[in-house]
Structure 1
Amino acid sequence: MLYRVEGIVIRSMDYGEGNKIITLCTQTHGKIGVMARGARKLKSRHAAITQPFTYGEYVFYRQNTGLGTLNQGEIIESHFSLRGDLVLAAYASYACELLDRSLHDEEVGGFWFSQLKSCLEGLSAGKDPQIVIHLYEMKILQASGYGPSFETCVSCGSSEHSALISPRLGGRLCRRCHHHDPTAKVVSPGTLKLLMLFEKMDMRRLGNIVVKDSTKAELKQIMRSFMDMQLALNLKSRHFLDQLDKYEI
């Protein structure tokens, strides 16, 4: 059967002599693997359309389930600037790998697709990459069924204002429920405000937000705790991002 889909290349690997296998996050068919024959050759018509982070329209043939074979493709947005910058490429790679590991092959990917598309657009537009990624992480947690709650206490439902955050229990705790998780972290008002904003905001609505370095550092620690506690994914791209932070590249 012949398929025509809009998709984003979230993974690309060499296969055989001159071929590539790409993984697409599509708007209508979830995550799909497609063989692009000859894509590694310099003059291949598939070379550009199979680059990581590329958003395009893909036409491929596939029998039932399994790997498809690419017939043709047209680039909608190449995101060339992301591949040309080491830091932006690292953030974009993390966004793609996180989605790849979170989204099952047969799972409908409309929401996942829209959030990834907006994430890559935000990175390309020069928005603060750390803020873009932390909002994206929040959307991944929500789409995976582990979205944190910050409006009320996750234990008793109290609306008492508290800056206690429990990644293990999945959100904010009131002071009376602190004993349920003694390791809950006290965060600054600025970090709590961002967490509450991220819970409600769609990636497509993110503007240019200016955040203090101290708040970003605290936000990174909290979001790292949520990702580790709720998803527990060992991602190569995140390790590389950590190395960039370590050497301040």
Structure 2
Amino acid sequence: MLYKLEGIVIRSMDYGEGNKIITLCTEHGGKVGVLIRGAKKPKSRHGALAQPFTYGQYVFFRNTGLGTLNAGELIDSHHGLREDIFKAAYASYACELLDRVLQDEDTGAFWFRQIKACLEALASGKDPQVIISIYELKILQAAGYAPQLDICISCGRECGQQETEEWISPSLGGELCRACKHFDPAAILATPRAMKLLRLFARLDLTRLGNVNVSEATRDEIKGMMRRFMDAQLGMQLKSRNFLEQLDRYDIQ
């Protein structure tokens, strides 16, 4: 059967001497694997369509399993993301996270819009840590591990109302009130500012993200909490995440 779909390349791998297999996140067809013959050859007509982060229109034959590209057209190459090591690292993490966490039947119009908005925000120069923190929250929500940020995960008491101390438990999956913080000795003491922004991020849609000004200290605090949540709830080892941590370690920005 012949398909014609708009999609974003979230994974690209070599196959044989001159071919590539790409994984597309499409708006109406979920995740799709497509073989692009000759994509590695210098004069390939379709080489650009196999590049990571590329947004294009893909025409391919597919019965079951892997499709085979017949034709395609670039919509946005996102070459600027690939040329900047820092932006490329964040974009790679966003794509790998989507590919690893969500199954084919889970991806669709919502996730196509989210990854598209994420890449566009990174390309436009918006704060990548803020973008990724929001994106990670969306991933946790979609995977069924959304952190509970409004009430105590233990007793159900409403949190965030004139609290001077707020505690977050990544392992339990949300906030703990002062009376329940002993249930997790490893719970994180969070500032009210960081918690307020986390609650805002949980409600935000990346497609509607404007300019969000966050202080460096609050941004780093949120990043640390989100990494703990991702490790505790998903526990995945991602190559792109490891590379991001190396950039942080050497302060390469």
Question: What range describes the TM-score normalised by the shorter chain of this pair?
Answer: over 0.9
- Secondary structure of 1:5's aligned partner: strand
Alignment counterpart, residue 248 of structure 1, candidates 242, 246, 251: 251
Under a length normalisation based on structure 2, what TM-score does the superposition of the two structures give?
0.94
When the two chains are superposed, the root-mean-square deviation of aligned CA atoms in Å is 1.2
Which amino acid in structure 2 is aligned with residue 102 of structure 1? V
Give the share of equivalent positions with the same residue, in percent. Answer: 62
Deviations 1:195-242 (A, max 9, x none): 111111111121222211111221111000100011111000011011
- 1:160: Cα distance to partner? 3.8
Q: Does 1:223 pair with 2:222?
A: no
Does the 8 Å contact 1:164/1:187 carry over to 2? yes
Does the 8 Å contact 2:11/2:52 carry over to 1? yes
- 1:183: Cα distance to partner? 1.8
Question: Which residue pairs with 2:78 in the alignment?
Answer: 79
Under a length normalisation based on structure 1, what TM-score does the superposition of the two structures give?
0.96
**1:1-249 equivalences in 2 (<5 Å):** 1-63=1-63, 65-161=64-160, 162=163, 163-249=166-252
In structure 1, distance between residues paired with 2:148 and 2:109 = 23
Of stretches 179-188 and 4-13 in structure 1, the one that deviates more from structure 2 is: 179-188
Deviations 1:153-199 (A, max 9, x none): 12222114341111112111111222322221111122111111111
Q: How many residues align?
A: 248
In structure 1, distance between residues paired with 2:168 and 2:16 = 49
In structure 2, distance between residues paired with 1:105 and 1:140 = 14
Does the 8 Å contact 2:80/2:123 carry over to 1? yes
- 1:108: Cα distance to partner? 3.8
- 1:152: Cα distance to partner? 1.5
Q: Which sections of structure 1, spanning at least 5 residues, go unmatched?
A: none
In structure 1, distance between residues paired with 2:7 and 2:215 = 35
Which amino acid in structure 1 is aligned with residue 201 of structure 2? F
Deviations 1:83-114 (A, max 9, x none): 01000000000001111101213434222211
- Secondary structure of 2:52's aligned partner: coil
- Secondary structure of 2:21's aligned partner: strand
- Secondary structure of 2:136's aligned partner: helix
Does the 8 Å contact 2:193/2:218 carry over to 1? yes
Does the 8 Å contact 1:167/1:225 carry over to 2? yes
In structure 2, distance between residues paired with 1:160 and 1:66 = 48
- 1:50: Cα distance to partner? 1.2
Of stretches 195-204 and 181-190 in structure 1, the one that deviates more from structure 2 is: 181-190
Of stretches 102-111 and 199-208 in structure 1, the one that deviates more from structure 2 is: 102-111
Q: Which 4+ residue blocks in structure 1 deviate beyond 6 angstroms?
A: none
In structure 2, distance between residues paired with 1:136 and 1:55 = 19
Which amino acid in structure 2 is aligned with residue 118 of structure 1? A
Which amino acid in structure 2 is aligned with residue 139 of structure 1? K
Which amino acid in structure 2 is aligned with residue 92 of structure 1? A
- 1:82: Cα distance to partner? 0.2
